[in-house]
Structure 1
Amino acid sequence: MDKQEIIRYLKENNIAKIKFAFADIDGILRGKIISSQKFLDGLESGYGFCDVIFGWDSADELYPNVEVTGWQTGFPDQLCRIDPETFRLISWQDNLPFFLADFSKADGNDLPACPRSLLKRIIKDCDNLGYHAEFAQEFEWFNFRETPDSLQQKNFSNLQPITPGMFGYSILRPSLYNDFNNDLFNRLADFNIGLEGLHTETGPGVYEAAITHDEVLKAADKAILLKTAVKEIAYKHGILASFMAKWNEELPGCSGHVHQSLWNKEQSANLFYDPHQPDKMSELMKHYLAGQLYCLPHILPMYAPTINSYKRLVEGAWAPTTVTWGIENRTTALRVINTSHQYTRLETRIPGSDTNPYLAISAALASGLYGIKHKLKLDIASTAGNAYENKSSARLSSNLYESSLIMQESSLAKDLFGDEFVQHFTSTRIWEWKKFSKQVSDWELKRYFEII
């Protein structure tokens, strides 16, 4: 719907209120419900939000080391603008109208800390190069027979998954929660998040959903919304869904792989596919792939943004540990899928389900375009077999602090995303590491309390 159609819909259906939200730096949706009149009044000018929304962490604790906001700014309002093209109805909340928003200003400028605005800038660059980007993100998550209250009461221990055992691709296990399973597929579709597939993964109570591919901004919107939508639908069934990258050291982690391809403007030709080239990979795809490999060490926190992200990136856990690529190889960082013209694409396998989709997708697209602009050669050989045993390849950074320092000092990262964004984002990641470093863990108590 365009603006006029939305206004007409609200009036004809006597809609009294709407909900809207935007993603903060961690990919958490922040927003509010407003009256339909306030919605109409602010469609052009925007809606004021205290700028603290980009100045605090996931626990609403203020960052002491960022410049875009803080006590020094007095915490004024920043104008948030709703994107009318994101209109959808929340079927599990009485068809409440919903919109996504960002902090892109009418003059084309934006708040450097806004993830959706960052992606829009990179998409503009892609458009100027003459490409149409198609993306999709897929997510794994664990489902528990818990509530927010029970998590606190149990101190996040002895949690009960909805089903026991390791049952990847099980037809049997989802039937135990058939209503929940069907609700996920159907209500997500009603919310304009179509799924290509929904199935169990290996692990107790773990599901995977692959979102149907779309134009890159719409794909990111669907990805950010899927995580909150799944949690809200799960609540309705007495289930708590977690997108934590690695909640249990004994179990596989949860991925958030990013699939991508570039097409011509008419969307009739997949520019990654060339049947006359080895492995059907076009020269453009090779440049794009080379760009991602080259940029990866400089921008890793955009794919792995939390302390916990790096607990997933370990050998033998279906997640990459090396700067590698391969044809249909699930042990490499980048997997080439080249079955046909329609489905040839690149899968970036570093992201976990804890990623902010706007940032993970921005990282993938910007680094791929960097390879195209600079005509980078694909001089890293394809890995056949187990990439964990590829000792000649560079290793991914093993923790958030190390990867954030690399990104903070990287001129390449600043070239891709701008100085202000890089400074803000990496400062928030270093803050996350400092908060973690102060904690005394159960592991430390068990190891040192008595014996040392």
Structure 2
Amino acid sequence: MDKQEILHQINASENNRVKLAIVDIDGVVRGKIVHKDKFMSSIDGSSGFCDVVFGWDMADQSYDNAKVTGWHTGYPDAEYTLDLSTYRKIPWDEEIPFFLGDFSKINHPACPRTLLKKVIKKAEAMGVRPLFSQEFEWFNFDETPDSLHDKQGINPKPLTTGMFGYSLLRASQKSDYFNDLFTLLEDFRIPIEGLHTETGPGVYEACIQYTDILEAADRAVLFKSSVKEIASKHGIMPSFMAKWNSELPGCSGHVHQSLWKTGKNLFSDNKDPMKMSDFLKSYIAGQLLLLPEILPMFAPTINSYKRLVEGAWAPTTITWGIDNRTTALRVLNSSEKSTRLETRVPGSDVNPYLAMAAALATGLYGIENQLKLTISPTIGNGYEDKSNGTLPPDLKTATEKMKNSDVAKSLFGEGFVDHFCRTREWEHRQFAASVTDWELRRYFEII
């Protein structure tokens, strides 16, 4: 719909509420409900949103090391703008109109959606159209926020038992929830290409249909928050932690990507033995080269690195391969139309705006600099192929690499890199200051 059609629908609606949202550095959707008169008065300009949303972490604890906002600035309102193209109605919440906004008008260095839009402009300047999608795995639990709180947040009960990957039986046993996910997400403009159970108790996987990159990122961000809201209606708690249990596989957030021009997939070349264009090879070379320097954008939490371990369906080495699920980058080349790159490093805890910005920017870096793909495709076990190095093993190490990366600063801007790395340093310090259950079990009695 165009602007006038959207405004006509809002005006004609008997619903006086409009839900507005932005997305913070951790990928958390932050928002509010406003009266439609308030909404109508702000659509041709911009409104203020308290910039504390970029001055605290996912637990609402204020950073003590941030520059862009904080106690030293007084947490003023920052100017944000609504994107009318994000218009949706929430089918599980009385069809309330919904819009996403961002801080691109003021070029806020901490706004993830603003960052992605800047990288997209780079692609457009190079004459290419990025088509992206993301897929998520996540565990579901027979819990509510209250029941999990009463258990002090530990030992959540999975929705189902056993290792039932691709199980129609397990899906049918929770069919009301399973079917609601597919149908309601479609109605909310998040079309699902496929939905199935994965191996593990209560774990599902969903592949979101591909589209232009900004819309793909919007869909991915809203997918996670929407699943949580829909699940709550069924008394279920989903978790998008990268690894909630050391004995079980982690949860991925793989990013699929291709570049197009005048209806042609620039990644495909039927004359090449691997059906890969030089364009794609340079794109891969850029990602492989810069993976260690932008890893926190793919693996942003302490927990992310618990997933990135050998033999757990997540990559640990700087590798690529043709349809190889043990490598960091997986090329799928079965047809010209579907040829794409799957970046397998991100977990389900990722901020989709940052993950897609990182994937696109580093790939374009390879194209712009005409990098040659000198690394051979891995055949067989990617965990054993350490010839090109391994990924940084933890958030602290990865953040230090990104903080000191001149290329990261040139791709994303010094303001973003400085703020983002400060938030990751904060995240590490919060963990380092905590006493874990593992420490209690290991040291309490015997030491």
Tell me, yes or no, if structure 1 residue 140 matches structure 2 residue 142: no
d(CA) in 1 for partners of 2:388, 2:128: 31
Output aligned runs, 1:276-425, within 5 Å.
276-425=271-420
Superposed displacement of residue 159, structure 1: 1.4
Partner of 2:229: 232
Count residues in correspondence: 447
Superposed displacement of residue 184, structure 1: 0.3
Partner of 1:429: 424
The AA in structure 2 aligned to 1:62 is: S
d(CA) in 2 for partners of 1:69, 1:424: 10
Give % identity.
Answer: 60
Partner of 1:164: 161
Partner of 1:218: 215
Superposed displacement of residue 17, structure 1: 1.2
Superposed displacement of residue 14, structure 1: 2.9
Partner of 1:2: 2
d(CA) in 2 for partners of 1:225, 1:278: 39
d(CA) in 1 for partners of 2:176, 2:148: 24
d(CA) in 2 for partners of 1:232, 1:316: 33
Q: CA RMSD in A?
A: 0.8
Output aligned runs, 1:146-225, within 5 Å.
146-225=143-222
d(CA) in 1 for partners of 2:15, 2:156: 41
Partner of 1:76: 76
Assess if the C-alpha contact under 8 Å between 2:318 and 2:386 holds in 1.
no
Output aligned runs, 1:8-23, within 5 Å.
8-23=8-23
d(CA) in 2 for partners of 1:14, 1:236: 24
Output aligned runs, 1:39-58, within 5 Å.
39-58=39-58
Assess if the C-alpha contact under 8 Å between 2:269 and 2:275 holds in 1.
yes
Superposed displacement of residue 79, structure 1: 1.1
Summarize deviations over 1:253-299 as a string: whole Å, max 9, x none: 000000000000x3x21000000012100000001010100111100
The AA in structure 1 aligned to 2:174 is: Y
1:111 aligns with one of 104, 108, 129: 108
The AA in structure 2 aligned to 1:245 is: A
The AA in structure 1 aligned to 2:189 is: N
Q: State the TM-score, normalizing by the size of structure 2.
A: 0.99
Q: Secondary structure at the match of 1:280?
A: coil
Structure 2: gaps spanning 5 or more residues: none
The AA in structure 2 aligned to 1:116 is: R
d(CA) in 1 for partners of 2:47, 2:26: 21
Q: Secondary structure at the match of 1:89?
A: strand
d(CA) in 1 for partners of 2:205, 2:117: 27
Summarize deviations over 1:128-154 as a string: whole Å, max 9, x none: 100010000000000000001111111
d(CA) in 1 for partners of 2:11, 2:438: 58
Q: Secondary structure at the match of 2:163?
A: coil
The AA in structure 1 aligned to 2:29 is: L
| Structure 1 consecutive aligned stretches of length 4 or more whose deviation exceeds 3 Å | none
Task: Please say which of residues 46-55 and 225-234 is displaced more in the overlay.
Answer: 46-55
Q: Secondary structure at the match of 2:99?
A: strand
d(CA) in 2 for partners of 1:98, 1:446: 47
Superposed displacement of residue 47, structure 1: 1.7
Summarize deviations over 1:275-329 as a string: whole Å, max 9, x none: 0012100000001010100111100000000000000000000000001000000
The AA in structure 2 aligned to 1:38 is: K
Superposed displacement of residue 175, structure 1: 0.7
Structure 1: gaps spanning 5 or more residues: none
Superposed displacement of residue 425, structure 1: 0.2
The AA in structure 2 aligned to 1:128 is: A
Task: Please say which of residues 287-296 and 4-13 is displaced more in the overlay.
Answer: 4-13
d(CA) in 2 for partners of 1:250, 1:36: 49
d(CA) in 2 for partners of 1:71, 1:157: 33
Summarize deviations over 1:17-42 as a string: whole Å, max 9, x none: 10011110000000100011111111
The AA in structure 1 aligned to 2:391 is: L
Task: Please say which of residues 150-159 and 87-96 is displaced more in the overlay.
Answer: 150-159
Summarize deviations over 1:323-342 as a string: whole Å, max 9, x none: 10000000000000000011
d(CA) in 2 for partners of 1:235, 1:224: 18
d(CA) in 2 for partners of 1:187, 1:436: 37
Task: Please say which of residues 284-293 and 391-400 is displaced more in the overlay.
Answer: 391-400
Summarize deviations over 1:180-215 as a string: whole Å, max 9, x none: 111000000000000110000000000000000000
The AA in structure 2 aligned to 1:407 is: M
d(CA) in 2 for partners of 1:56, 1:397: 26
